[in-house]
Structure 1
Amino acid sequence: MRAVAVGAVVLYHAGLSAVPGGYVGVDIFFVISGFLITGQLISMLEARGRIPFGEFYAKRIRRIIPASFVVLALTTVASLVFLPPATRPGALQDAIATALYVPNVLFAAQGADYLAETAPSPFQHYWSLGVEEQFYLFWPLLLLLGFLLVRRSTRRLFWVVLSIVVLSFALCIVLTGTSQPAAFFLLPTRAWELGIGALAAFALHSGLVRLNGRAAALGTWLGMAGIAVSLGALNESTVFPGWAALLPVLSTAAVIVCGSSLPSRGAGMLLSRAPMQKVGAWSYSIYLVHWPLLVIPQAAVGYENPLPLVLTLALGALSVPLAVLLYRYVENRFRHPAAGSPLRARRVIATAALASLGFVAVAAGAGAVQSTAPIASTREAASQPLQVAPNGSTFVPANLNPTLRDAPDSIPGTYDDGCHADFPATEVNTDCVYGDPDGTVDIVLFGDSHAAQWFPALEAYATDGSYRLHNLTKSSCPSVDIEILHEQRPYSQCEQWRQSAVDYIDALDPAVVVLSNYGEVSPVDTSTGLVEQWEAGLGATLAALPGSSHALVLADTPSHSTSPLDCLSRNIEEAAACDLPRAEALDGEVLAAEERAVRDGTVQGGTVQDGNASFVDLSSYLCTDICPSIIGDLLVYRDEHHMTTAFSRALAGPLGDELDKVQ
């Protein structure tokens, strides 16, 4: 089963489209781990009436940590050599979290999307080890406590474990719908998968499950069929873990339970063959090695230059012989030491702790060096006012504003003061007023993060012109009246917030409402094309605004498929290599749909008064036939598709000219 699990994961990460659900290999590993560890703990409880924690933890450390730390150290060195300079500090942060056994917690806090991350961390695969390590830490304590509470009965302890599994699964369902990264990465929402394996161990140990040969064989094949369906039917758009995780988890448990009853029959005939057993033995090392082997070469050449499938499959295959070496000279050597004593167990635990702290100290020092090293050429660029048809810089200036390292934090102040609504918000914050507090003319900024990126420009205009600026922006929630998905679920909070914003605007009756949105969304309704829905939705929003307010629809800004920051940090003397053709950077169909919605004005029974809405496209200040990443001494983008605050503020003049025309 471990061979099936690791094979699925490697093929999925290599990009083989035949296994779009290959990520469930991790879930298979969870069930197997829960089964094996719980079986050992049950035997300890029954034989000794207690759990020798020192012995248990020392054994887990010898099994997991040496190979993990070897790959961790090698991956860290490779990251410092091959990763773009802009991403190295973040990678070192991930490495430190891995050394402290909490990478999954860090990735959950970052909101990393394991299934869709375009530039993933070289250490991201360690999230599952974090879950297992945390499980190994707490599970023996919970079992011993439960064992004592049920008067040392392993049969009654089964029901305690079942209760934990049910609670964990319920939490998983709830968080998958409200905070999918937390549900994906954290132990409390994944514990039920290891718990299913634990229940299988209890069932077999106590004799609760007794199957004859034919039923056991059929059960193994049904379990394998369920795994096969998971690998082929689930994909990146599946809401996961949630209910979808039940299929691979229960299927794995079926194979384990039924196969344990009759290991040489059914699917056991396949799984027990020597090649499968060998790959299963190497599976942990394969899992550790394969991810950095795939990620670091891709990062080195740039995610804008995706490696061909034949090469990623070759790298996946290369992980096997490398894993064999790791298994033979590291994993097995530490896994089977000479018989020890309680003192030796304590020494193992202390050594692991000191190794973690030592690695953290070294990595933190390297991170400090990386964070202060400049990522630019030695030349400076002249500061210049923005103009139509700009010339991009051919190098990364030493006086770049902001620097490549500071760019990710170059976000509007509305994020820090709570005036950019996060995903759960359903009501607008009416206290988000900027500019001149004594001004008599109101301007409203309305939309998603692509509206929020215009805030620095609008704030500068409002302050200079004695206007009041009202910020109504929300993450991933366009002002366009369209039902969309967020984390593969209907984004109902967006619809409620949007209506709250429209009500607020209607009561305020501002002079101008500025709308801007990111057109790459996933609509709930798949029966109609996105462009058609977008045009109708924008028209509906415009019709809902006060008739006396002028609606100014700003065309969206260019989008890159990968962050220009990584590319620029690799090409400080050839910055033009990171520029993008205008035809690729701008979605002409969406822009045309927005312009039609403004021009036509009649959608779904509503009417925008003639002359009371306008469409403004300022992309000529960002692009010619090419959209450069650096203009003068200004960095244009902070990520794939958001402007830096410095560049937004520089657009206050051109945007202000357009606003002056409509007042």
Structure 2
Amino acid sequence: DAVRPAAAPPVLPSAATDGAAGGTTGGPGEPGGTDGLDGLDVPSVDEWSGEVGRALSATSWPELDPSIESVLDGTRTGSPHLACGDAEAQGLTPADCSWTSPSASTTVVLVGDSTAMHHLDALVPLAESAESGFTLVNRAKFACPFVDIRVQNDVTGILESCRAHNDETLALIDETHPDVVLVTNSYQTLSEDGGGTITPDRWSEGFGAYARRLAEAAGSVVVLTPPPDDADIASCFRRGGSPVDCISRTSRTWIDRAAADQDVLESIGGVLVDLRVLTCVSDLCPAFVGDVPVKEDRVHLTTAFALAVSPVLGDLLRARGVL
């Protein structure tokens, strides 16, 4: 599993020279491998990485907005978009879960599970900006990884619901031919219903089945990686304690899942964007950046972080040719 640093401030390499996940050697998803930029010069990402580095060097918790306490007790302002993760049950129409601008000429569809849903607060402002040029359509759904595998979940009826939702999403993409499909699935350890832990090969098989269909119908297929699944803010945070206790690192499961996705994408001409460039420096990932907490649990981004990082994400996706 992931290795947490000792309770002392980490010694950090320069963000300007090492990027968000280390140097420039190694495979996709590998700590010390890709920096998420593929050699591109994106000044806003460099500036953001500086903020991440400063957070990693902090020895005490700053005043955050929202506070960690309000994130943990649920009193902070929630996202207005998360209801789209269960749209049918919430009585929402497709139009309620689509966002656009007057300049829109292309369509982007978001698919995946709850980790995709927590990217919405960063993506919606991009879609709604005057010059965005695209319409964003949400087809992500809570507890439903976009993969042709029955992923174990104890919620009654969720396996059948997820299968039906993913089938409908594939049919919609077949029919509408969007320009871009964005995919985000959890990189946590998952088990197959009635089976054991899902191996990288099994994941490649299951994601590959969907990805090949997407490639036939959409202009491009892009995986946006989820945050590393490590430190849980509910367990590591202590007022008066050190934020070093809440630093996350990338697990072996995360690395293997990212590599499996990369292999699939290479076979269809797709793109993997390693979003650790927005949350980590040299595979050290702080619990806050600037004055906002990053995650509300082990893996889901806070609304405040998603909103704060939105312009930087937009620059990164444009630089990578995604938008």
Q: TM range, normalised to the smaller chain?
A: 0.7 to 0.9
Q: Which residue of 1 aligns with 2:136?
A: 469
Question: What one-letter code is carried by the residue in structure 1 that aligns with 2:161?
Answer: Q
Question: What one-letter code is carried by the residue in structure 2 that aligns with 1:551?
Answer: V
SS at match of 2:221: strand
Match of 1:554 among 206, 224, 228: 224
The question of 1:614 aligning with 2:271 is answered yes
Distance 1:503 1:496 in 2: 11
Q: Which residue of 2 aligns with 1:390?
A: 53
Aligned-pair identity (%): 27
Query: How is 1:487-498 mapped onto 2 (pairs within 5 angstroms)?
Result: 487=154, 491-498=159-166
Match of 2:113 among 436, 443, 448: 448
Deviations 1:81-116 (A, max 9, x none): xxxxxxxxxxxxxxxxxxxxxxxxxxxxxxxxxxxx
SS at match of 1:491: helix
Match of 2:193 among 524, 529, 551: 524
Any gaps of 5 or more consecutive residues in structure 1? 1-383, 602-607
TM-score, length of structure 1 as denominator length: 0.37
**Contact in 2 for aligned 1:436/1:463 (Cα 8 Å):** yes
Question: What one-letter code is carried by the residue in structure 1 that aligns with 2:119?
Answer: W
Question: What one-letter code is carried by the residue in structure 2 that aligns with 1:653?
Answer: P
Shift of 1:454: 0.7
Match of 1:404 among 41, 65, 68: 68
SS at match of 1:386: helix
Shift of 1:506: 2.1
The question of 1:513 aligning with 2:181 is answered yes
Q: Which residue of 2 aligns with 1:154?
A: none
Q: Which residue of 2 aligns with 1:636?
A: 294
Shift of 1:437: 6.0
**Contact in 2 for aligned 1:386/1:650 (Cα 8 Å):** no
Distance 2:198 2:164 in 1: 23
Distance 2:202 2:155 in 1: 18
SS at match of 1:468: strand
Query: How is 1:147-162 mapped onto 2 (pairs within 5 angstroms)?
Result: none
Question: What one-letter code is carried by the residue in structure 2 that aligns with 1:475?
Answer: F
**Contact in 1 for aligned 2:173/2:218 (Cα 8 Å):** no
**Contact in 1 for aligned 2:190/2:198 (Cα 8 Å):** no
Q: Which residue of 2 aligns with 1:542?
A: 211
Aligned alpha-carbon RMSD (Å): 2.8
Query: How is 1:289-438 mapped onto 2 (pairs within 5 angstroms)?
Result: 386-387=48-49, 390-392=53-55, 393-398=58-63, 400-407=64-71, 408=74, 409=76, 411-415=78-82, 418-421=83-86, 429-431=93-95, 432-436=97-101
- Which structure features the higher share of helix residues? 1
Distance 1:394 1:429 in 2: 47
Q: Which residue of 2 aligns with 1:577?
A: 245
**Contact in 1 for aligned 2:228/2:250 (Cα 8 Å):** no
Query: How is 1:26-37 mapped onto 2 (pairs within 5 angstroms)?
Result: none
Shift of 1:593: 1.0
**Contact in 1 for aligned 2:110/2:140 (Cα 8 Å):** yes
**Contact in 2 for aligned 1:391/1:628 (Cα 8 Å):** no
Any gaps of 5 or more consecutive residues in structure 2? 1-45
Query: How is 1:46-61 mapped onto 2 (pairs within 5 angstroms)?
Result: none
Question: What one-letter code is carried by the residue in structure 2 that aligns with 1:560?
Answer: D
**Contact in 1 for aligned 2:178/2:217 (Cα 8 Å):** no
SS at match of 2:139: strand
Q: Which residue of 2 aligns with 1:94?
A: none
> Which protein has the larger Cα radius of gyration, Structure 1 or Structure 2?
1
Shift of 1:412: 3.2
SS at match of 1:513: strand
Q: Which residue of 1 aligns with 2:5?
A: none
SS at match of 2:49: coil
**Contact in 2 for aligned 1:445/1:513 (Cα 8 Å):** yes
Query: How is 1:229-244 mapped onto 2 (pairs within 5 angstroms)?
Result: none
Distance 1:419 1:405, change over 3 A: same
SS at match of 2:257: helix
Distance 1:529 1:479 in 2: 14
Distance 2:178 2:243 in 1: 42
Shift of 1:488: 7.4
Question: What one-letter code is carried by the residue in structure 1 that aligns with 2:286?
Answer: P
Distance 2:77 2:48 in 1: 19
Distance 1:513 1:548, change over 3 A: closer
Distance 1:556 1:403 in 2: 23
TM-score, length of structure 2 as denominator length: 0.72
**Contact in 1 for aligned 2:117/2:140 (Cα 8 Å):** yes
Q: Which residue of 1 aligns with 2:280?
A: 623
Higher RCO (C-alpha under 8 Å, 6+ residues apart): 2
Deviations 1:146-182 (A, max 9, x none): xxxxxxxxxxxxxxxxxxxxxxxxxxxxxxxxxxxxx
Query: How is 1:250-289 mapped onto 2 (pairs within 5 angstroms)?
Result: none
**Contact in 1 for aligned 2:108/2:135 (Cα 8 Å):** yes
Question: What one-letter code is carried by the residue in structure 2 that aligns with 1:579?
Answer: I
Distance 1:485 1:549 in 2: 31
